[in-house]
Amino acid sequence: MSRILITSALPYINGIKHLGNLVGSQLPADLYARFQRARGNEVMFICATDEHGTPAELAAAKTGEEVAAYCARMHEVQADLARGFGLSFDHFGRSSSPQNHALTQHFAGKLYEAGLIEEVSEKQVYSIADGRFLPDRYIEGTCPNCGYENARGDQCENCTKQLDPTDLINPRSQISGSTDLEVRETKHLFLKQSAMRDKLNDWIDSKSDWPVLTTSIAKKWLNDGDGLQDRGITRDLDWGIPVKRGDEDWPGMEGKVFYVWFDAPIEYIAATAEWAEATKGGDTAWERWWRTDKGADDVRYVQFMGKDNVPFHTLGFPATIMGSNEPWKLVDYIKSFNYLNYDGGQFSTSQGRGVFMDQALDILPADYWRWWLLRHAPESSDSEFTWEHFQSSVNKDLADVLGNFVSRVTKFCRSKFGEEVPSGGDLGEAETALIADLTARIRTYEKHMDAIEVRKAAQELRAIWAVGNEYLQEAAPWSVFKEDPDRAAAIIRLMLNLIRVYAVLSAPFIPTAAAKMLSGMNTMDTGWPDDVKAALSVLPEGHAFTVPDVLFAKISDEEREGWQAEFAGKRA
């Protein structure tokens, strides 16, 4: 049994996320976690809401709530939606937790002791109208690199270039919209990432199995221009983790907080500590996942994220961990994703364009969305959601292939043999060939899942469903029954067992439908089909079952057209 630590990039607390956010980190991480658990491995799957920084303050201001109250409320909203989509986190934490406060301050102290933090006087944008310094995300303007007009002061979402607020052209305050800004001097702490460049470069070079998307982004940040830059890790904000060196105050840093991108990745560790407290696993139970001197040396650590998060996870967070000179677990594999676009454009909260997680669950059960999103995950390039494509995939994959198979087998058996696994008959050459085909395909499916090749895994799973349909059509038990009932019984007995196997294989993708299939087969046996022949005889003769409800209803043209109009938003 292996031990696997899985973390998904933390969703910002400021509102409900759209389907592109979901497929960019949390959903594929859940797929991998469910698969590894099904194979008998010990899994710790961690995520949390990212609650500090400008987005939280701005969102709270719009609702008229105190920031802490807003974050507490939105954490519950996001946790509820995660449950709705079947995301199987072992713990869904909060970056504002006491554990993250303590760990962030601890890391800052260790980095200071290692000589990797320095105090820098820098020029920062001050808003006359707002009467305050504006941290990077409080400022918008035109990106000097690509000309995008709504670039933030820390990074351009369009070209992903790292920015400083003073780089922006025609900057404006996010708070008031004022352009009455001036540059004033203030002091902040900087993490000396440049001192870690060679160490980070060697570490990244050692990860020869990482996706090209991950390593190319990391290398770009390491080598572009003057190379890896030192990074400010404090901000002039009220909401955040107060700047301290461990338990000690930091002279000159009074009233400042740590930058959200410094504390957010540390929450992966802190959320595991939150889990230990919540489950009463003991104060140090989390350390066996994170401290290599406490047992984490045999852990495989896998991170999931969108491509915009890659620089902070390949450079900033590793620099923090390495620079502490403590035995913390470093990531082994980073699975990064491109963007999911929406119907010829981009998802847009402000324009009401696209489908968001709460809206999706109001329309259809989670498995419909899980299947399409994972089947078309933006791995090698950006992908696009269209309603026509969604309708086609649901109808052809889920309804026509898997759902139809389950319905035909169970209803035929009920009509001819009753609601129990029939007895009699033997398997022949066709069944031997089927088992061989299924065995080869299941091994391929496992290989893709282990490699986190999401689209290939989905494609192979669909092919496994199709094999059963093809066999059923050729074996034609409805015709055989007239002349040889025992032969028909043997065919249907095999197919009822195949429904159980399909449920086990499909559970990482469509867990609710898989549970219905198992319930219909009246079994809790989720044993993985390592031996496919044995797996196809788990349900014995005489075992009772029930005909499941329709697994997947087809999407009509009228429904698709209505949703397409409803979520079109205002096109730019």
Contact 194, 230 (CB under 8 A): yes
For residues 449 and 35, the answer to whether their CB atoms sit within 8 Å is yes
Separation CA 524–CA 515 (nearest Å): 9
Measured from the Cβ of residue 349, the count of other Cβ atoms closer than 10 Å reads: 14
Rounded Cα distance between 535 and 528, Å, is 8
Q: Please return the burial class of 549, using the count of CB atoms within 10 Å of its CB with bins 0-12, 13-18 and 19+.
A: exposed
Q: First-to-last CA distance in the chain?
A: 52
539 and 523 Cβ atoms separated by less than 8 Å: yes
Query: Residue 73, CB half-sphere, CA atoms under 13 Å: how many?
Result: 13
The answer to the question of whether 413 is labelled as a binding residue is: no
The answer to whether the beta carbons of residues 193 and 218 sit under 8 Å apart is: no
Beta strand 234-235 with 91-94: parallel, antiparallel or unpaired?
unpaired
Residue at 1: amino acid letter: M
What separation in angstroms does the CA of 273 have from each of 1, 20, 73, 262, 269? 23, 29, 22, 18, 7
CA distances 78 to 50, 175, 308, Å, are 11, 25, 21
> To the nearest 10°, the Cα dihedral for 376, 379, 380, 384?
40
Name the β-bridge partners of 120. 188
Pull the structure tokens for residue 123.
């020029």
| Residue type for position 173 | S
Cβ pair 345, 353 in contact under 8 A:
yes
Q: Does 47 appear as a known binding residue?
A: no
Annotated ligand binding at 71? The verdict is no
Residue list, annotated binding site:
143, 146, 156, 159, 349
Residue list, annotated binding site for ATP:
349
Residue list, annotated binding site for Zn(2+):
143, 146, 156, 159
